[in-house]
Structure 1
């Protein structure tokens, strides 16, 4: 019986030396802050003053923090929105681009669709903040112009519409990572498969369900994991536009952590919330790696 053995290729020491600066920067700006936050979560941390050790008291406080736990309801809604509607339009755009017969047109439309990614995210949020302005905003102005004054409203100032308004930022969400991932996956499908499907008389919809979707399954899994991590870290848009309001309608865990630190000046408790978010993000990442290896085995 012949057994195959994997041949290990020796890596020159010079490669490790080149990587040392990268690991040094990671240690200074990633690993150390995370470890430092874990340590301070066990203290009544007051920067520059005596910080008495409190053990797990901050974690017990977290268990009774209704605002902290209710914020997870909002990111749950954001997550469902992110993996449904915010994937549909990028997927449709990728399919439409790939349906073009001209390679030059594909390049032009692909460039036009991803060009907005070059603009800073903050600029995009501020633009939408102006669009939502209850008096001079573009949305209300258009509604009034067509005689739909009754539909105009204070989109980010009303608890019933504020969260949906935040999630709608960037509509139709084509200039995004999902579009790039879907387009890349479709470009990697061998042309012979499409030719065989055409010979068999498969229509556009049948081709999508039988070829495109199965070929993109691995990329969809990656996007799913990235969506979980991104939602756990969500907070920039809500911080700029609503500060978690009105009436905590747009409160998310990251904003609760920032409020604990900069509003309540409870730095130790803020470190506790940050530690929990870090643990959740790390857990999702490790789970994704484990499941990915099992799928490849």
Structure 2
């Protein structure tokens, strides 16, 4: 009994720092934010007014919330198609025998944008999108496609797509690396048997690669969607949510409500909306992955 108790104490001693850090920096702020979402106050207020569900009712009358949800949803759909879809194709190509010699160099090239600060990336693309001296319009003019030159961040029709493109450029390489790890775990015997049976590269990709990386597919899809619903840096640095509210997203709306309009109670409510959305999406990933493991066992 003493030995078992000592072992349990040792295990708890290893776990306790992690629990303490989570409690201080995750669970306590989350609990406080839940309380704040039922109150009305500013940063300078000493006391907070309890308003009950008034902030939550305001969500249903806030037009910017619906614009932000639409933009976040658009962000998620495009990110799934490009980051997850193209990332899987890119990973399969880099792991193909034909690219085996140059694959290490290409993996590094595609992964480099991931380690660059998003602030630096946004400033870089702000220069690329510049309507007068930007690289994008200059390149289009060089090709004789002057009619396609545009004020990319100043037009409501293109601003959101221009902002989304920044994330795709930076994050696709990271998702591709995750798929590469999953593809490398696939037994080579499966590909060899399929090749002997006369299956081409496309059939091997759809009938072997895709089914074998389905767990990583769901993980990357949920990570991408959660990232799309918590995105902040790109619209904040590039457009500030404009022109108008055309590039407004939930996290940016929360920031402006709290720190610009100084309505911290309603900002906490928006934060709870973001939390609920991301929690639901994370739960979907968890249960999907767990069900898949049970089927295999």
Please indicate, yes or no, whether the TM-score normalized by the shorter chain is above 0.5. Answer: yes
1:16 matches 2:16: no
Task: Name the structure 2 match of 1:208.
Answer: 205
Q: Decide which of 10, 24, 28 is 1:28's aligned counterpart.
A: 24
Q: Which moved more, 1:136-145 or 1:107-116?
A: 107-116
Q: Are 1:37 and 2:26 matched, yes or no? A: no
Q: TM-score, with normalisation over the residues of structure 2?
A: 0.90
Judging by fraction of residues, say which structure has more helix. Answer: 2
**Residue of structure 1 equivalent to 2:189:** 192
> Shift of the alpha carbon at 1:206?
0.8
Q: How many Å separate the matches in 2 of 1:229 and 1:223?
A: 10
| Per-residue Cα deviation, 1:149-175 (whole angstroms, up to 9, x for no partner) | 222111001101101111111555575
Counterpart in the other structure of 1:266 = 263
**What is the CA distance between 1:104 and its match in structure 2?**
5.0
CA distance in 1, matches of 2:252, 2:170: 23
- Name the CA distance, whole Å, in 1 between partners of 2:90 and 2:210: 14
Kindly provide the CA deviation profile for residues 78-117 of structure 1, in whole angstroms up to 9, marking residues without a partner as x.
Answer: 1110111333332232122111357553333322322332
Q: How does 1:57-206 map to 2 (within 5 A)?
A: 57-100=54-97, 105-169=102-166, 172=169, 175-206=172-203
Q: 1-side partners of 2:292 and 2:72: how far apart?
A: 28
Residue number in structure 1 paired with 2:220:
223
Asked if 1 retains the 8 angstrom alpha-carbon contact of 2:215 and 2:289, the reply is no
Q: Describe the SS at the equivalent of 2:193.
A: helix
Normalising by structure 1, what TM-score?
0.90
Number of residue pairs matched by the alignment: 288
Structure 1 residue 146: Cα displacement: 2.8
- Check 1:238–1:229 CA distance in 2 against 1; reply closer, same or farther (3 A cut): same
Given that residues 258 and 270 in structure 1 are in contact (C-alpha distance below 8 angstroms), is that contact kept between their aligned partners in structure 2? yes
> Are the counterparts in 1 of residues 67 and 246 from structure 2 also a CA contact under 8 Å?
no
Q: 1:200-237 CA deviation, whole Å, 9 max, x = no partner?
A: 11100111111011111111111121122111101210
1:236 to 2:239 alignment: no
Question: Comparing 133-142 with 91-100, which one deviates more in the overlay?
Answer: 91-100
- C-alpha distance 175-229 of structure 1, shift in aligned 2 (>3 A): closer
- Residue 124 of structure 1 contacts residue 170 of structure 1 at CA under 8 Å; is this kept in 2? no
| Shift in alpha-carbon separation, 1:294–1:167, aligned structure 2, 3 A | same
Does the Cα contact within 8 Å between 2:84 and 2:217 map onto a contact in 1? Answer: no
CA deviation vs aligned residue, 1:269-288 (integer Å, no higher than 9, x gap)? 00111112112212222232
Summarize the Cα distance change of 1:237–1:173 in structure 2 as closer, same or farther, 3 Å threshold: closer
Runs (5+) with no aligned partner, structure 2: 1-5
Structure 1 spans left out of the alignment, 5+ residues: 1-9
1:14-46 CA distance string (max 9 Å, x none): 232122112211111111111111111111122
Residue 3 of structure 2 aligns with which residue? none
1:86·1:173 contact (CA, 8 Å) conserved in 2? no
